[in-house]
């Protein structure tokens, strides 16, 4: 007589194939959400902002004299008698480029001249000092070294220690604007 073959006891499975698929789906979703969050954080903190959308801003304390850190070349004469004073609001068209020619902002491209108050620390020191030397209607090229620009800070696409090149046209001072040219 032969003894019956021992049978294995049936152990209930705790994870069916359906459960394994669910667990895999949850795991994939977790890593997808985690990866997306990491990319968003990296873009927010690391990637430079495109364009400035507002005039160059001064966040540094005012110094006494920045005149040695900027130069002006007149491209078109203004009226030669109307100059902005400290506290005046000026209307300006400008294009800003880096030394390598990279354009970082332009009110001309937006067809939207800016209005800023001069002499109250709202713009970079190079603008605070150079714009009041322009007469109404004048167009000039301003070259502003980092000492009168953004210094060691990165601002949008502008790297630290950058020399800024601006073409600027003074369109108005307070409510007085450049007279229309006759055709």
Sequence ranges of the domains in the chain: 17-47, 67-177
Marked catalytic residue, from 88, 92, 105, 144: 105
Task: Supply the pTM of this predicted model.
Answer: 0.64
Marked catalytic residue, from 69, 88, 92, 104: 104
Active site residue 19: no
pLDDT the model gives residue 176: 80
Marked catalytic residue, from 66, 69, 114, 150: 150
- Phi, psi (rounded to 5 degrees) for 27: -65, -45
Active site residue 118: no
Active site residue 59: no
Token digits for 141?
């090229």
pLDDT the model gives residue 40: 77
The topology under which CATH files domain 67-177 is Chitinase A; domain 3 (3.10.50)
Marked catalytic residue, from 92, 114, 124, 144: 124
The H or E element containing residue 17 is: helix 17-45
pLDDT the model gives residue 34: 84
Active site residue 94: yes
* C-alpha torsion sign, points 159, 165, 169, 173: positive
Average pLDDT, 10 consecutive residues per value, the chain (183 residues): 68 60 77 79 59 55 74 96 94 96 95 93 92 96 95 92 96 82 51
Distance CA 166, CA 154 (A): 18
pLDDT the model gives residue 12: 61
Active site residue 150: yes
Marked catalytic residue, from 114, 158, 166, 173: 166
**8 A C-beta contact, residue 140 and residue 74:** yes
Active site residue 66: no
């Amino acid at each position: 007589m032969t003894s019956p073959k021992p049978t294995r006891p049936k152990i209930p499975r705790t994870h069916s194939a359906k459960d394994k698929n669910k667990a895999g789906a949850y795991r994939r979703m977790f890593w997808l959400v985690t990866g997306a969050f990491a990319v968003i954080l990296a873009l927010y903190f690391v990637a430079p902002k495109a364009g400035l959308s507002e005039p160059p801003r001064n966040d540094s304390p005012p110094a006494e004299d920045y005149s040695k850190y900027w130069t002006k070349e007149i491209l078109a004469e203004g009226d030669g008698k109307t100059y902005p004073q400290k506290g005046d609001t000026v209307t300006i068209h400008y294009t800003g480029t880096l030394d390598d020619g990279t354009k970082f902002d332009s009110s001309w491209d937006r067809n939207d001249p800016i209005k800023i108050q001069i002499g109250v620390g709202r713009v970079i020191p190079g603008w605070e000092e150079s714009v009041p030397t322009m007469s109404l209607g004048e167009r000039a090229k301003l070259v502003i070294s980092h000492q009168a620009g953004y210094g060691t800070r990165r601002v949008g696409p502008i790297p630290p220690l950058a020399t800024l090149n601006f073409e600027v046209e003074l369109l108005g001072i307070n409510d007085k604007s450049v007279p229309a040219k006759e055709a």
